[in-house]
């Protein structure tokens, strides 16, 4: 499998005022999940780093970095902290602060920050904007219609499907951010009408459901493809596969992701090249044309259909848990690449090399997740797991309470392993999982099995 990609787009991007890289830097990572733990852990390996802070972080980031008690969306306090601590680069993990414009605010304050500006983050924060951009740029995606209110969406379904008997292969999506839950895959007319009602009338996800997208239901397997871009040059990363459903065999409700692995044989080198030229490069160009130049991580959710790969959605950040296996394999200085994006000189940095061994990440969750669950339960066996070779236990939802690591979220740990094959990495990850215990802890048992079929 090919290990790295670098494609040069043909236009010249905008420049930023404060360029230049420094040694002995203090960094700030914004967020508190497994993705942010992996980012802090990887950045800590850079010889140019002095100290890493994570806001607000978790019990794992407290071990690999230092936590700061500021919420990821409290932009004014994050700016004050970055100024006071002379932070040389801030790296933003989650979508919420990005769509609130954290990058614009840091830039306006003269602070160096990695991530897309608010207008570019619309690519994830508005599915209507994303679908329209895909359509105009002729990028393969499901056919869609956008609606401004529930009544026009309901009329569309009633006009198109006269009876409850026919298959209705549609997906109804809330326009705005809904933690991955504002998407309802339908099979019948009733499903579609109920979905419109839940999203746009009952507003289950608040204002996210003010506008709707209704699109053709695609069939196939899903993959996550990531590119780091400064708006001129893109660096495509090895592809990953997530496991969104809660239970084995892809059954049960959707979650934030119960496990991931990278690379995935679902995306061959040829297919990755074609996704790069037919999806990633045209998207970066289209964003530039829309005067929303994209700098940061472009995450394409891809469905591999019988007609080839099609875009399900874009996100504007690393995936969680995909980030964990990808960064386990990254060899080289992540800071060099992220800084090069901030300085718009990605074409000048060495592309990373990749550990040839695949990585598998198994998420351990609280009893009841993705519905309600208890927190504050003491977690045992973390030291034992950490002693195993080729293992890193990233923390997703943990806290420190009276000197003890306790559960603090639905997704609690991202147990990540390298192995000589996907099967060997899977075996090693589950060996570590078996060392770790807390009341009600569970995980999917079939992470990465998709790769064997
Ligand atoms: P999104 O947030 O748009 O990626 O959607 C979340 C999940 O819904 C995806 O990972 C897919 O499993 C499913 N999904 C979204 N759009 C479609 C579609 N057009 N066809 C089939 N499944 C879809
Ligand atoms: N794992 C999918 C996501 O981060 O959206």
E strand intervals along 282-335: 296-305, 308-315, 330-331
Q: Which domain holds residue 206?
A: 149-210
* Confidence (pLDDT) at 438: 98
* Confidence (pLDDT) at 168: 87
How many angstroms is it from 323 CA to the middle of ligand 2? 9
pLDDT band at residue 15 using 50, 70 and 90 as cut-offs: very low
User: Please, which residues have CB within 8 angstroms of residue 89's CB and are 6 or more apart in sequence?
Assistant: 25, 27, 28, 112, 113, 114, 335, 338, 339, 342
Note the pLDDT tens digit of each residue in 199-221. Answer: 999 999 999 999 999 999 999 99
The pLDDT of 30-38, averaged and rounded, is 98
279 and 298 Cβ atoms separated by less than 8 Å: no
Number of domains within the chain: 4
Is residue 124 within 6 Å of ligand 2 at its C-beta?
no
Higher pLDDT, 453 or 399: 399
Note the pLDDT tens digit of each residue in 423-442. Answer: 999 999 999 999 999 999 99
pTM above 0.85, yes or no: yes
Note the pLDDT tens digit of each residue in 373-403. Answer: 999 999 999 999 999 999 999 999 999 999 9
Is residue 95 within 6 Å of ligand 2 at its C-beta?
no
- Asked if residue 12 has pLDDT above 70, the reply is no
1 located within any domain: no
* Confidence (pLDDT) at 254: 87
Is residue 398 within 6 Å of ligand 2 at its C-beta?
no
How many angstroms is it from 193 CA to the middle of ligand 1? 18
- Asked if residue 39 has pLDDT above 90, the reply is yes
301 located within any domain: yes
Is residue 257 within 6 Å of ligand 2 at its C-beta?
yes
How many angstroms is it from 178 CA to the middle of ligand 2? 12
Note the pLDDT tens digit of each residue in 265-294. Answer: 999 999 999 999 999 999 999 999 999 999
pLDDT band at residue 453 using 50, 70 and 90 as cut-offs: confident
- Asked if residue 2 has pLDDT above 60, the reply is no
E strand intervals along 119-217: 144-147, 170-174, 183-185, 212-216
Question: Do residues 318 and 287 share a domain?
Answer: yes
Question: Do residues 347 and 365 share a domain?
Answer: no
Instruction: Give the binding-site residues of ligand 1, using a 6 Å CB cut-off.
Output: 142, 171, 173, 180, 183, 185, 215, 217-218, 222, 244, 301, 312-313
Give the domain CATH number at 364: 3.90.600.10
* Confidence (pLDDT) at 3: 39
Residue nearest to atom 2 of ligand 2 (CA): 319
Is residue 315 within 6 Å of ligand 2 at its C-beta?
yes
How many angstroms is it from 391 CA to the middle of ligand 1? 31
Residue 203 φ/ψ region, left for φ over 0, alpha for ψ in the -120 to 50 degree band, beta for the rest: left
- Asked if residue 327 has pLDDT above 70, the reply is yes
User: How high is the mean pLDDT of the chain?
Assistant: 94
149 and 175 Cβ atoms separated by less than 8 Å: no
Give the domain CATH number at 59: 3.40.50.20
Give the domain CATH number at 249: 3.30.470.20
How many angstroms is it from 445 CA to the middle of ligand 1? 23
């Amino acid at each position: 499998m090919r290990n790295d990609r670098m494609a040069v787009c043909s236009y010249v991007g905008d420049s930023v005022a404060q360029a230049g890289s420094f040694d002995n830097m203090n960094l700030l990572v914004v967020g508190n999940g497994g993705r942010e733990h992996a980012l802090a852990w990887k950045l800590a390996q850079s010889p140019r780093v002095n100290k890493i802070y994570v806001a607000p972080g978790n019990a794992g980031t407290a071990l690999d970095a230092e936590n700061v008690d500021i919420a990821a969306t409290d932009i004014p306090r994050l700016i004050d902290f970055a100024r006071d601590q002379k932070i040389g680069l801030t790296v933003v993990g989650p979508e919420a602060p990005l769509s609130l414009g954290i990058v614009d605010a840091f830039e306006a304050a003269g602070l160096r920050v990695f991530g897309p500006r608010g207008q570019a983050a619309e690519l994830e924060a508005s599915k209507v904007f994303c679908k329209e951009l895909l359509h105009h740029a002729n990028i393969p995606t499901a056919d869609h219609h956008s609606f401004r209110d529930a009544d026009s969406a309901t009329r569309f379904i009633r006009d198109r499907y006269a009876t409850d008997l026919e298959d209705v292969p549609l997906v109804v999506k809330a326009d705005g951010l809904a933690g991955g839950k504002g998407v309802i895959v339908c099979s019948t007319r009733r499903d579609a009408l109920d979905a419109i009602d839940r999203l746009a009338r009952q507003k289950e996800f608040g204002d996210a459901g003010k506008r709707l997208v209704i699109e053709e239901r695609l069939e196939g397997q899903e993959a996550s493809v990531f590119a780091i871009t400064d708006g001129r040059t893109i660096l495509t990363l090895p592809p990953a596969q997530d496991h969104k459903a809660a239970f084995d065999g892809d059954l049960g409700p959707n979650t934030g992701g119960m496990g991931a692995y990278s690379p995935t044989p679902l995306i061959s080198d040829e297919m990755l090249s074609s996704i790069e030229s037919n999806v990633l490069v045209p998207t970066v160009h289209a964003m530039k044309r829309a005067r929303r130049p994209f700098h940061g991580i472009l995450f394409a959710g891809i469905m591999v259909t019988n007609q080839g790969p099609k875009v399900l959605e874009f996100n504007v950040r690393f995936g969680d848990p995909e980030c964990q296996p990808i960064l386990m394999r990254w060899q080289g200085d992540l800071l060099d690449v992220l800084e090069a994006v901030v300085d718009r000189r990605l074409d000048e940095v060495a592309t990373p090399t990749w550990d040839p061994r695949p990585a598998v990440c198994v998420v351990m969750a609280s009893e009841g997740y993705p519905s309600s669950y208890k927190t504050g339960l003491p977690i045992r066996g973390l030291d034992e797991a950490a002693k195993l070779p080729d293992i890193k236990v990233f923390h997703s939802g943990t806290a420190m309470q009276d000197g003890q690591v306790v559960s603090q979220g639905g997704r609690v740990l991202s147990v990540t392993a390298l192995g000589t094959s996907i099967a060997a990495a899977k075996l090693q990850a589950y060996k570590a999982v078996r060392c770790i215990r807390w009341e009600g802890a569970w995980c999917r048992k079939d992470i990465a099995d998709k790769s064997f079929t």
